[in-house]
């Protein structure tokens, strides 16, 4: 198959590129904004047609959650409009699309893991644009697979894990939020899941994927420092109200992964095992 990857320079896009080397039966077209402007409908249609694309993995997104509150136009363009353009273009070739979405489509007021059938209720610009993106993809491409994920980190790019390691080495004390609960996702595990879906065949639907387990940002930071061997920084738990941000964040955004595990017969690693793998690679 000819497979188009968008957002190839991001965390997930880079992890997918590593796996491409092991997946020689397909031809991958790795693009970021320099190679393809996905907000340009004509450019998308021409690229998909000229390269005879059979499937799209859309990793591109506007992910600056707080900046999105004051930059709604660009956020909407990347998270809502562009995915619809990609979906419509691949539909013309009777192809498939895997689109990456987010736990932010929920407001986080539940106290049990979110399942795919739960009604979305975003409470931020980012969450609203991502939900609209899901709806557009499913509307314009019959063979579309939405994967919602959360708390993504990787050896690539800027992310929470790298930031906490850096701050842990620089500071004597850190305050980290303890009343937001979720599950980290190692981008390499998500990339492997996506490749499994490609190789087994895309099963159109909405799915949830993160690592296994449940944790707060505070506990996550403590684990990062422990695994990275940082002992000189005192991590203090703080309330969300002590660290106000422009965008609201879900207080509880644990995702139930039963559906994707059953559909593809996969086991998902525990968050701490994957975190250790990532930190060892960063060392």
Instruction: Give CA–CA dist 89/137, Å, rounded.
Output: 11
* Helices (H), ranges, the chain: 11-20, 41-50, 65-68, 72-76, 82-91, 125-140, 160-170, 187-200, 217-228, 258-264, 271-282
Closest CA to 274 of 210, 179, 199, 226: 210
Average of per-residue pLDDT across 149-173: 97
- Which pLDDT score is estimated for 283? 83
- Which pLDDT score is estimated for 98? 98
Is 114 an active-site residue? Answer: no
- CA 245 to chain CA centroid, Å, is 21
- Which pLDDT score is estimated for 262? 98
Instruction: Give CA–CA dist 115/118, Å, rounded.
Output: 6
Closest CA to 150 of 111, 194, 103, 109: 103
pLDDT in tens, 172-182: 999 999 999 99
69 burial via Cβ count (<10 Å: 0-12, 13-18, 19+):
middle
pLDDT in tens, 196-235: 999 999 999 999 999 999 999 999 999 999 999 999 999 9
Mean pLDDT of the chain: 97
Q: What is the CA radius of gyration of the chain?
A: 19
- The DSSP code for 217 is H
How many helices and strands (H and E) does the chain possess? 11, 12
pTM value > 0.95? yes
- Which pLDDT score is estimated for 268? 98
- What six digits make up the tokens of 17? 């590129």
- Which pLDDT score is estimated for 22? 85
Residue recorded with tokens 């489509």: 105
- Which of 126, 207, 218, 252 is flagged as catalytic? 126
Instruction: Give CA–CA dist 14/281, Å, rounded.
Output: 14
pLDDT in tens, 231-256: 999 999 999 999 999 999 999 999 99
Q: Is the pLDDT of residue 21 over 90?
A: no
pLDDT in tens, 107-118: 999 999 999 999
- Which pLDDT score is estimated for 139? 98
Q: How many CB atoms lie within 10 A of CB 167?
A: 17
96 burial via Cβ count (<10 Å: 0-12, 13-18, 19+):
buried
CA distances from 216 to 144, 168, 221, 251 (A): 32, 17, 9, 10
Average of per-residue pLDDT across 89-98: 98
pLDDT in tens, 34-57: 999 999 999 999 999 999 999 999
């Amino acid at each position: 198959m000819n497979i188009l990857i968008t957002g190839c320079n991001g965390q997930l896009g880079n992890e997918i590129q590593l796996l491409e080397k092991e997946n020689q039966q397909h031809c991958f077209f790795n693009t970021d904004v320099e190679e393809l402007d996905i907000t340009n409908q004509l450019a998308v249609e021409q690229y998909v047609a000229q390269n005879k694309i059979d499937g799209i993995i859309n990793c591109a997104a506007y992910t600056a959650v707080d900046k999105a509150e004051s930059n709604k136009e660009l956020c909407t363009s990347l998270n809502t409009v562009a995915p619809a353009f990609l979906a419509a273009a691949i539909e013309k070739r009777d192809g498939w699309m895997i689109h990456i979405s987010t736990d932010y489509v929920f407001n986080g007021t539940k106290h049990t893991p979110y399942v795919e059938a739960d009604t979305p209720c975003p409470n931020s610009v980012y969450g609203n644009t991502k939900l609209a993106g899901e709806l557009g993809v499913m509307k314009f491409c019959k063979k579309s697979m939405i994967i919602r994920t959360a708390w993504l980190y990787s050896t690539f790019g800027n992310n929470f894990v790298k930031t906490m390691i850096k701050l842990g080495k620089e500071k004597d004390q850190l305050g980290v939020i303890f009343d937001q609960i979720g599950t980290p996702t190692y981008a390499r595990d998500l990339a492997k899941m996506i490749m499994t879906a490609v190789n087994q065949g895309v099963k159109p639907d909405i799915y949830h994927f993160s690592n296994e387990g449940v944790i707060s940002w505070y506990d996550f930071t403590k684990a990062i420092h422990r695994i990275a061997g940082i002992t000189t920084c005192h991590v203090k738990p703080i309330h969300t109200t002590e660290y106000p941000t422009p965008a609201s964040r879900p207080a509880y955004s644990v995702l139930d992964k039963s559906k994707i595990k059953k559909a593809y017969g996969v086991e998902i690693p525990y968050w701490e095992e994957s975190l250790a793998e990532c930190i060892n690679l960063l060392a």
